[in-house]
Structure 1
Amino acid sequence: MSPSSGLAGVLARQADLYDDLLALLQRQEAAIIAGDTRAVGECMARTESLVLELRLLETSRETLVSQLTGRADTPLRELPGAGEGPLGAARSRLAATLPRVHGMNRRVTALLERSLRLVDATLELVREAAGLTRHYTPRGVVARSAPPTIDGRA
């Protein structure tokens, strides 16, 4: 198998995995919105597996590109025959899929960050209600927790 045809196969497999990742991110987004923490965890575990597979394929891609051009960091568009045949088709698929994956990843990240802020704010309210907030003396030493007060009375 020539490096060019091997590279086309690697790129096609990467495109398949990025399509899988996009579908997984869409499921994760729906699970976050639905509050299904179990499904979110399952999606995250599967995402880690996909990312590992993608890293391995990236290493293979760099090796094949290096065989073709002498440099592992040569952009795909600069490869001989990059716009033709199976190599061109796989490259086009990747170029179409990656921006969609990036956009969905940003959405899921934003949802997760908002969810974590909500959990943190809720925990802070619980800590305050239970009198678990830290108080400091004028010297900067943590003071013992005082019982919760309402209107200045214990």
Structure 2
Amino acid sequence: MITLPLRFDLRPFAAALVLALSGTAFAHGDVTPQAVDTRELPQLGEQWRTENPYRSNAVAVRIGSSAYNQNCARCHGLEAVSGGIAPDLRKLDSDCATLRDDRRKAACVKEMDDFFLGKVRRGVTRNGAVYMPPFEGILSQEAMWSIKSYLETRREKPI
């Protein structure tokens, strides 16, 4: 009895694998931002704040939690725990937590508020690639600060 080596054409399997994996690679892409209802919060007006006006505001934290889960979690992770696609936002203020001087700590938190707002408003683009879309004109200032208020409850190192 003569046995012949079996030959398989792996191209159809490779094509199916590529097609299956391509859906996961773009799963967080082109998603329509969701509106955030901020009617329960004091309205901030046209002038952009440089510090979080809703810090420790329970209503803002609740609104921010919902807004974060609808608009940010797909990249930054559920409950702000990053899966590696984008920065872990629980660590956003970590450098401030180690400061002992209250004035320096307050200045650090203010600087991080400004950093956060700038990134959310203008997005992040590097070498022509969009890493985070700009949300100015999509999310209100109240929505952005409520998200920051929520993130402050998720800090890795409490301040």
Q: What range describes the TM-score normalised by the shorter chain of this pair?
A: under 0.3
With structure 1 as the length reference, what TM-score do the two structures score? 0.27
With structure 2 as the length reference, what TM-score do the two structures score? 0.27
**Which of structures 1 and 2 has the bigger CA Rg?**
1
More helix by share: 1
